[in-house]
Amino acid sequence: LLVLFCLAVVSASGRSYDKYTLIRTSPLSFEQALELRQWENDYDFWRPARSGLSTDIMVGPTQKLYLSHQLTRLGIQFAEVIPDLGKLIKSQQLAAESKRSYGRGDGRINFDQYYSHDELNAYIDDLATQNDFLSTVSIGQSYEGRDMRVLQITKAGPGAPNIWIEAGIHAREWISPAMATYIIDSLLNNDQDGFLDKLNFHILPSANPDGYEHSRNSDRLWRKTRSNYNSILLCKGVDGNRNWDFHFAESGASNNKCSETYHGPEAFSEVEMKNIRDYVLSLDPVPVLSQCLHSYSQLWLWPYGYDYGAYPDNYEEIRDLAEEAVKALEAVHGTVFDPINSADLYPAAGASDDWYKGVLKSRFAYTVELRDTGRHGFILPPDRKSTR
């Protein structure tokens, strides 16, 4: 009853992260990583436990002492990297209040703030009225009825290769929709390589509208969709990036409705994922590149991710292009990304990138984990000055 009462209070007032801490471990041995992966239902791992690397674990004030004991028992050293997440979230909320919201009709967006789902839709709709090779299309509604809109940039014309860009499946990764708008802005205003003459682009800035709004308004660290499968503990939502029908639920996903990686009752149970699936299946030609934007860790992940050593036939060119991409990226601001196979990060099945490669049959499919490497993690300041 106490748990239910607490849950009711939290959902009524917005979740507080006061005195929540982000703990970073020392690099883990194989055995330590294996052990920590058993705790995934007990703690929110901001970065997966992977052997050879450190991991980031969020803990509430009451869990902290217990976690310290557990880590010490396993011989894992650790430090508090963000001592009070609530404070960090509040300071960014305060800074955001002084920002101007998106001016309807503008078609101009700033990159020093994060925008709401409606503002993202309004931005792409406004662009579409300003240019005849731009249009927007609704690919359907979210569970709570929000419109999911795709920007189509089709200057290259019919038959040219299609590029598919999906952002925002994970609600708390705010840099992802922001990056989608940055890509749009760069293509339209700084297309030095002439991409628009050669390629058609289909860009979905907000793939999980309900989760994103929930993260903006009620629970900054919300990750999943907002659907309801009658959990006894009133837990809501499904991890959209575990809900795709390719090796569904085989690895790195949970059957527990309260888990951050709950895969849902069946593949494509989530209407948002279904909407995306139906849209990309309608594209002709099949997208040559399907690109998923996530955060954080600065990684360029190539498929497959469902199991170790499961590689697509053309994995060599996929891997080579990832390596070229991170070099090109580093040349801009010196930011370093690591190009690795997804499963080497951790095997996780039912993600959209695997489906784009394995079912849709895109020649290239990637998931990029954007900035940073953990100084702010998901609470990345909007001015993007965090470069560590």
Closest to ligand 0X9 by CB, 267 vs 301, is: 301
Least distance (Å) from ligand 0X9 to the CB of residue 349? 7
Residues catalogued as catalytic: 369
- Least separation, in Å, of the C-beta of 246 and Zn ion? 17
User: Angle of helix 117-130 relative to helix 175-189, nearest 10 degrees?
Assistant: 10
Q: Which is nearer to Zn ion, 173 or 272 (CB)?
A: 173
Q: Are 164 and 289 in contact (CB under 8 A)?
A: yes
Minimum Å distance from CB 49 to Zn ion?
16
224/257 with CB nearer Zn ion: 224
The alpha carbons of the chain give a radius of gyration, in whole angstroms, of 20
Distance, CA of 232 to chain centre: 27
Nearer to ligand 0X9 among residue 137 and residue 321 (C-beta) = 321
Q: Which residues bind ligand 0X9 (CB under 6 A)?
A: 170, 173, 241, 294, 301, 305, 342, 348, 351, 353-354, 367, 369
Q: How far is the CB of 211 from ligand 0X9 (least distance, A)?
A: 12
Q: What tokens appear for 234 in the block?
A: 């009133």
367 binds, among ligand 0X9, Zn ion, none (CB under 5 to 8 A by kind): ligand 0X9
CA distance 142 to 135: 20
Cβ atoms of residues 300 and 186 within 8 Å: no
Q: Which does 351 bind (CB under 5 to 8 A by kind): Zn ion, ligand 0X9, none?
A: ligand 0X9
The residue type at 104: R
Q: Which of the listed partners (Zn ion, ligand 0X9, none) does 263 bind, with a CB threshold of 5 to 8 Å by partner kind?
A: none
Nearest to 290 by CA among 348, 239, 370, 363: 363
Residue 170 in the binding site for Zn ion (CB under 5 A): yes
Residue nearest to ligand 0X9 (CB): 305
Please, which residue, 107 or 339, has the CB nearer to Zn ion? 339
Beta bridge partners of 78: 25
**Do 199 and 153 meet the contact criterion of CB atoms below 8 Å apart?**
no
Tokens found for residue 224 = 């999943």
Separation CA 198–CA 258 (nearest Å)? 45
Please calculate the CA angle 123-129-131 and round it to the nearest 5 degrees.
105
Q: Which stretch binds Zn ion (CB under 5 A): 106-114, 167-175, 198-206, 229-237?
A: 167-175
Least Cβ distance, residue 248 to ligand 0X9 (angstroms): 12
β-pairing verdict for 299-302 and 364-370: antiparallel
Chosen from Zn ion, ligand 0X9, none, partner binding at 374 (C-beta under 5 to 8 Å by type): none
**Nearest distance in Å: CB 304, ligand 0X9:** 6
**Region of 72-80, 93-101, 162-170, 268-276 interacting with Zn ion (CB under 5 A):** 162-170
Tokens 């003459």 sit at which residue? 197
Indicate which of ligand 0X9, Zn ion, none lies near residue 177 (CB less than 5 to 8 Å, by partner kind): none
For residue 12, the surrounding DSSP H or E stretch is helix 2-13
Q: Which contiguous run of DSSP H or E holds residue 178?
A: helix 175-189
Cα separations in angstroms, 346 against 71, 120, 246, 249: 20, 32, 16, 14
Per-residue interface string for the shown chain with Zn ion, residues 278-307, x marking contact by CB under 5 A: ----------------x-------------
Q: To which residue do tokens 């041995």 refer?
A: 29
Q: What residues numbered 195-224 form the site for Zn ion, per CB under 5 A?
A: none
- Closer to ligand 0X9 at the Cβ: 56 or 210? 56
Task: Count residues binding Zn ion (CB under 5 A).
Answer: 3
Binding site for Zn ion (CB under 5 A): 170, 173, 294
